[in-house]
Homo-oligomer: A and B are copies of this chain.
Amino acid sequence: MIRVAVVGATGYTGAELVRILSVHPHVELTMITSRQYAGQPFSDVFPSFFQRLDCRLESYEPKKVADVADVVFTALPHKLPMAIVPELLGEGCRVVDLSADFRFSDPDLYEKAYEPHKARAFCSEAVYGLSEVFAEKIATARLVGNPGCYPTCILLPLVPLVQRGWVDLSHLICDAKSGVSGAGRSVSLATHYCEIAQGFKAYKVGMHRHRPEITAILEGLGQGRPQLTFVPHLVPTIRGMLATTYVQLSEHRQESEVRACITEAYAHHSFVRVLPEGRFPDLAFVRGTNFCDIAVRLDPETGVLILISAIDNLVKGAAGQAIQNMNIMCGLDERSGLEALPPVI
């Protein structure tokens, strides 16, 4: 059994980690921490789990965590992990960090998008945890920077095409839509039921910090520097994320070739489902799962390639992929603990 701790267990992402890890067949969840709720049972914070997860939240102390955990998940707002992660690594833990702090191998890029980085030395060591793409490096990583939800959803269909050089990187357009849980559990007018239940809007237009994360990974594929226009929108659903990406092909390809390319790239992985012709993803079809569903459509009139991809932002977009990365790091089947079926409805 792998001994695991979750630092920051009471945000939506942290709680989702607890939910999945607590029934993972190869994991012993030894500690969950929370600044705000230390001392309380987890099920006091999330009453759904009454009589199922009544374990107590503790306050974070690096030595105490390291004593009981081989792998630590840090699910904290960005800026906090850059202080904590070096301690945990120093104590001999392996870490999957779910914040943005270790997603950029170049700390200058991080600082441009976020703020001064206090653990610059660790950035280049950290492996970007897009499981299907970087599995090999993840396997031996001491520190994984778990990808953002938008980057996960957008990169999975794009990467195989970019790797083959099929994509005109100078004209990428991505129109993305996220459910409300992407905004986290903290309260604000922006998550007030009445303000959004029958609304829909774009936000952070051209300014979202997931853009430099996406472009850095794409650039790292060695096919050039992408020009990505990225507009996120807020959908009135609890969970889920769908991205519609518009690609100019650098040379003519059939729709079926494109579909085959993506299918092959993920042939040895379980969580990417490339849909047959004529079928399209729906948030509802991936809810509660670690799947990324992908559809490919080449517009016959304009020649534009339309990639549509959907994930559950809290699972494949956060906690699920983090656990998939842990599985890879520990030599387990990547599916371990993650095979929950999607809901019928």
Contacts and interface: CB of A to CB of B under 8 A. Distances in A.
A177 B200 contact: yes
Interface stretch (A60-68, A88-96, A281-289): A281-289
How many copies of this protein are present in the complex? 4
A205 B238 contact: no
A238 B194 contact: yes
Contacts of A196: 193, 284
Contacts of A22: 341
Interface residues of A, number: 86
Contact of A235 (B50, B189, B236, B340): B236
A301 B146 CA distance: 26
Contacts of A342: 48-49, 52
A235 B282 CA distance: 11
Contacts of A295: 202, 205
Given A239-B345, A341-B19, A231 B194 contact: no
Contacts of A48: 284-287, 341-344
A308 B205 contact: yes
A28 interface: no
Interface stretch (A102-110, A135-143, A179-187): A179-187
Nearest to A171: B171
Interface string A8-51: 00001001100100110000000000000000000000111111
B200 A242 contact: yes
A196 to B, nearest CB: 6
Interface stretch (A117-125, A157-165, A272-280, A326-334): A272-280
A308 B204 CA distance: 13
Given A16-B344, A344-B16, A197 B194 contact: no
B275 A50 contact: yes
A283 B344 CA distance: 17
B229 A308 contact: no
Given A12-B344, A235-B200, A304 B229 contact: yes
A177 B236 CA distance: 12
24 contacts: A23-B339, A48-B343, A49-B342, A50-B293, A175-B246, A179-B200, A185-B189, A187-B187, A187-B192, A191-B194, A192-B193, A194-B345, A195-B345, A197-B197, A198-B238, A198-B240, A201-B284, A205-B297, A205-B308, A227-B301, A227-B302, A228-B301, A239-B345, A288-B343
